[in-house]
Structure 1
Amino acid sequence: MKNLFQHRTKIYLSLFSFFFSLFSFAQEVAQDSTKSNKLEDVIVTATRVKDNSPFAFSTLKKDALNATNLGQDLPILLDQMPSVVTTSDAGIGVGYTGMRVRGSDATRVNVTINGIPYNDAESHGTFWVNMPDFVSSVEDIQLQRGAGTSTNGSGAFGASLNLRTLKPSTEGYATISNSIGSFGTRKHTLSLGTGIKNGFYAEGRLSKIASDGYIDRASSDLKSFYTEAGYIGTKTSVKAMVFGGKEITYQSWYGTPEAVIKGDVAGIQAYIARNYSSSEEAFNLLNSGRTYNFYTYENQVDNYGQNHYQLHFTHQFNDYLNASISGNYTKGKGFYEEFKDKQKLKDYFSEAPNGSDEGDLVRRKWLDNDFYAFVYSLNYKKEKFSATLGGGYNKYDGDHFGEIIWNSFPVALDKDLQYYKASGLKEDYSTFLKSDYNFTEKLIGFLDLQVRKVDYSANGMNADLKQLNVNKTYNFFNPKAGITYLINDKNKVYGSVSVANKEPNRDDLTKNPTEPSAEKLIDYEVGYAFKNRLFAVNLNGYFMNYKDQLVLTGAIDDTGGPIRENVDKSYRLGVELTAQANVTDKLKLEINTTVSKNKIKSFDYKVADTQYDTNTYEESYFTVITKYTDTDISFSPNVISSGSITYSPIKNLNLALLSKYVGKQFLDNTATNSRSIKAYNTSNLSASYTLKPKWIREINFNLLVNNIFNKMYESNGYTFSYYYRPLASNDNAITENFYYPQAGINFITGVTLKF
Structure 2
Amino acid sequence: MKKSLMILLVLFSNFIIAQSFKITGTVSDASNGEKLFGATVMIKDLSLGATTDMNGNYAIENLKAGVYELTVSYIGYTSKTKNISVDKNVTVNFLLEPTSVLLSETVVKSTKAVLRETPVAFSEVKGADLEFKLASRDIPQELATTPSVYSSASGGGAGDATLYVRGFSQRNVAVMVNGVPVNDMENKWVYWSNWAGLGDVLEDSQIQRGIGASPYSVNAVGGVLNMVTKGIASETEYIKLKSEFGSNNLVKGSIAFHQKLSNNFAVTALLSKKNWDGYAVGTYNREFTYFFAVGGVFGDHSIELRGVGSPQEHGQRPFSYARLTAADWDKYGRNFNYAMGRLNGGWINEAVNKFHKPQFNIDWNWQISNHSILSTIVYYSMGRGYGSGTLGPFAPAITKQQDSVYQNYRDYDKVYSINSTSIDKNYSQTLHRATSTVLRNSVNNHDWYGLLSTFKTRLSPELTLNTGIDGRYYKGIHYQEIRDLVGGDYYVDFKDVNGISVDPITKKTLGKMVKVGEKVNYYNDFYVRQYGGFGQLEYKSGNISTFVNVSASSQGAKRLDYFLYKNNDPKRETDWQNFFGYTGKTGLNYNLDENNQAFFNLGYFSSAPMVNNIFANNTNLVSKNAKNEKVLGLELGYVLSSKNVLVRANGFYTKWKDRAITISYSDIDPTSGDPVTKYANVSGSDQLHSGFEFEYVFKIIRNLELKGAASYVVGKYLNDVEALISPENNPTAIKKVNLYVKDLYVSEFPQQQANIQINYRLNLMRGLNVFINPVYKFEGKNFASFNPDNRTNPNDRNQSWAIPTVNLVDLHIGFTWYISDFILKKANLNFHIFNLLNNKNYILDALDGTGHIATTAKFFYGRERWYNLQFAFTF
- Name the TM tier (shorter chain): 0.7 to 0.9
Identify the residue that residue 472 of structure 1 maps to in structure 2.
577
Q: Is the 8 A contact 1:150 1:450 kept in 2?
A: no
1:61 equivalent among 123, 126, 137 = 126
Compute the RMSD of aligned alpha carbons. Answer: 3.5
Amino acid at match of 2:641: K
Deviations 1:331-358 (A, max 9, x none): 11112233444499xxxxxxx988x993
Q: Report the 3-state secondary structure (helix = DSSP H, G, I; strand = E; otherwise coil) of the residue aligned with 1:630.
A: coil
Identify the residue that residue 287 of structure 2 maps to in structure 1.
222
Deviations 1:555-576 (A, max 9, x none): xxxxxxx998644322111111
Amino acid at match of 1:250: G
Q: Distance in 2 between matches of 1:128 and 1:683?
A: 24
1:572 equivalent among 684, 689, 694 = 689
In the superposition, relative to structure 1, how do residues 207 and 567 fare at CA in structure 2: closer, same or farther (>3 Å)? farther
Q: Is the 8 A contact 1:95 1:220 kept in 2?
A: no
Deviations 1:103-130 (A, max 9, x none): 1111111111221121111121111211
Amino acid at match of 2:577: K
Output aligned runs, 1:287-366, within 5 Å. Answer: 287-296=332-341, 297-298=348-349, 300-342=351-393, 358-366=435-443
Q: Report the 3-state secondary structure (helix = DSSP H, G, I; strand = E; otherwise coil) of the residue aligned with 2:718.
A: strand
Per mean C-alpha deviation after superposition, the further-off stretch among 114-123 and 497-506 is 497-506
Larger radius of gyration: 2
Deviations 1:390-443 (A, max 9, x none): 3311000111011224433687534433222111111111211112213x5223
In the superposition, relative to structure 1, how do residues 46 and 552 fare at CA in structure 2: closer, same or farther (>3 Å)? farther
Q: Distance in 2 between matches of 1:563 and 1:596?
A: 30
Deviations 1:15-70 (A, max 9, x none): xxxxxxxxxxxxxxxxx996426623423122222321111111211222122132
TM-score by length of 2: 0.70
Identify the residue that residue 18 of structure 1 maps to in structure 2.
none
Shift of 1:650: 2.7
Amino acid at match of 2:831: L
Amino acid at match of 1:480: K
Shift of 1:383: 1.5
Amino acid at match of 1:333: R
Identify the residue that residue 810 of structure 2 maps to in structure 1.
684
Shift of 1:142: 1.2
Structure 1 unpaired stretches of 5+: 1-31, 266-285, 345-351, 555-561, 607-621, 722-730
Q: Report the 3-state secondary structure (helix = DSSP H, G, I; strand = E; otherwise coil) of the residue aligned with 2:594.
A: coil
Identify the residue that residue 206 of structure 2 maps to in structure 1.
142
Output aligned runs, 1:485-634, within 5 Å. Answer: 485-510=590-615, 515-550=625-660, 566-604=683-721, 625=738, 627-634=740-747
Q: Is the 8 A contact 1:89 1:97 kept in 2?
A: yes
Q: Distance in 2 between matches of 1:210 and 1:463?
A: 41
In the superposition, relative to structure 1, how do residues 735 and 603 fare at CA in structure 2: closer, same or farther (>3 Å)? farther
2:465 equivalent among 352, 371, 387 = 387
Amino acid at match of 1:363: R
Identify the residue that residue 456 of structure 1 maps to in structure 2.
557
Q: Is the 8 A contact 1:494 1:526 kept in 2?
A: yes
Seq. identity, %: 19
Shift of 1:605: 10
Output aligned runs, 1:18-57, within 5 Å. Answer: 35-36=99-100, 39-51=103-115, 52-57=117-122
Shift of 1:458: 2.1
Q: Report the 3-state secondary structure (helix = DSSP H, G, I; strand = E; otherwise coil) of the residue aligned with 1:493.
A: strand
Deviations 1:467-520 (A, max 9, x none): 885742111121101111111111111111111232222333345687343211
Output aligned runs, 1:62-77, within 5 Å. Answer: 62-77=127-142
In the superposition, relative to structure 1, how do residues 655 and 735 fare at CA in structure 2: closer, same or farther (>3 Å)? closer
Per mean C-alpha deviation after superposition, the further-off stretch among 542-551 and 292-301 is 292-301
Identify the residue that residue 4 of structure 1 maps to in structure 2.
none
The reply to whether residue 693 of structure 1 matches residue 819 of structure 2 is yes
Q: Is the 8 A contact 2:159 2:191 kept in 1?
A: no
Q: Distance in 2 between matches of 1:33 and 1:643?
A: 39
Q: Distance in 1 between matches of 2:250 and 2:576?
A: 45
Amino acid at match of 1:708: L
TM-score by length of 1: 0.81
Per mean C-alpha deviation after superposition, the further-off stretch among 660-669 and 477-486 is 660-669
Q: Distance in 2 between matches of 1:171 and 1:379?
A: 29
Q: Report the 3-state secondary structure (helix = DSSP H, G, I; strand = E; otherwise coil) of the residue aligned with 1:148.
A: coil
Output aligned runs, 1:693-732, within 5 Å. Answer: 693-694=819-820, 695-711=823-839, 712-719=841-848
Q: Distance in 2 between matches of 1:550 and 1:233?
A: 49
Q: Is the 8 A contact 1:551 1:633 kept in 2?
A: no
Q: Is the 8 A contact 2:339 2:350 kept in 1?
A: no
Q: Distance in 1 between matches of 2:359 and 2:551?
A: 27
Shift of 1:370: 0.3
Q: Is the 8 A contact 1:552 1:634 kept in 2?
A: no
Aligned positions, number: 666
In the superposition, relative to structure 1, how do residues 708 and 461 fare at CA in structure 2: closer, same or farther (>3 Å)? farther
1:108 equivalent among 172, 176, 179 = 172
Q: Distance in 2 between matches of 1:641 and 1:353?
A: 64
Q: Report the 3-state secondary structure (helix = DSSP H, G, I; strand = E; otherwise coil) of the residue aligned with 1:107.
A: helix
The reply to whether residue 243 of structure 1 matches residue 353 of structure 2 is no
In the superposition, relative to structure 1, how do residues 38 and 593 fare at CA in structure 2: closer, same or farther (>3 Å)? farther
Q: Is the 8 A contact 1:114 1:165 kept in 2?
A: yes
Q: Distance in 2 between matches of 1:483 and 1:332?
A: 41
2:453 equivalent among 376, 379, 387 = 376
In the superposition, relative to structure 1, how do residues 492 and 226 fare at CA in structure 2: closer, same or farther (>3 Å)? same
Q: Distance in 1 between matches of 2:802 and 2:817?
A: 47
Q: Distance in 1 between matches of 2:761 and 2:801?
A: 44
Q: Distance in 2 between matches of 1:549 and 1:177?
A: 46
Q: Distance in 1 between matches of 2:149 and 2:637?
A: 19
Structure 2 unpaired stretches of 5+: 1-95, 342-347, 396-424, 428-432, 493-512, 618-622, 665-678, 724-734, 792-796
Amino acid at match of 2:634: Y
Identify the residue that residue 432 of structure 1 maps to in structure 2.
534
Amino acid at match of 1:335: Y
Q: Distance in 1 between matches of 2:106 and 2:129?
A: 23
Amino acid at match of 2:457: Y
Deviations 1:681-727 (A, max 9, x none): 21110111101123511111111111111112122233476xxxxxx
Output aligned runs, 1:257-276, within 5 Å. Answer: 260-262=325-327
Shift of 1:323: 1.8
In the superposition, relative to structure 1, how do residues 171 and 493 fare at CA in structure 2: closer, same or farther (>3 Å)? closer
Q: Distance in 1 between matches of 2:698 and 2:275?
A: 38
Q: Distance in 2 between matches of 1:462 and 1:636?
A: 39
Per mean C-alpha deviation after superposition, the further-off stretch among 678-687 and 229-238 is 229-238
1:195 equivalent among 242, 260, 268 = 260
Q: Report the 3-state secondary structure (helix = DSSP H, G, I; strand = E; otherwise coil) of the residue aligned with 2:199.
A: helix
In the superposition, relative to structure 1, how do residues 454 and 36 fare at CA in structure 2: closer, same or farther (>3 Å)? same
In the superposition, relative to structure 1, how do residues 372 and 257 fare at CA in structure 2: closer, same or farther (>3 Å)? closer
Q: Distance in 1 between matches of 2:565 and 2:277?
A: 32
Q: Is the 8 A contact 2:147 2:695 kept in 1?
A: yes
Shift of 1:181: 0.7
Per mean C-alpha deviation after superposition, the further-off stretch among 205-214 and 580-589 is 205-214
Q: Is the 8 A contact 2:530 2:556 kept in 1?
A: yes
Identify the residue that residue 658 of structure 1 maps to in structure 2.
775
The reply to whether residue 441 of structure 1 matches residue 535 of structure 2 is no
Amino acid at match of 2:532: S
Identify the residue that residue 859 of structure 2 maps to in structure 1.
739
Per mean C-alpha deviation after superposition, the further-off stretch among 135-144 and 454-463 is 454-463
Shift of 1:147: 1.9
Per mean C-alpha deviation after superposition, the further-off stretch among 130-139 and 734-743 is 734-743
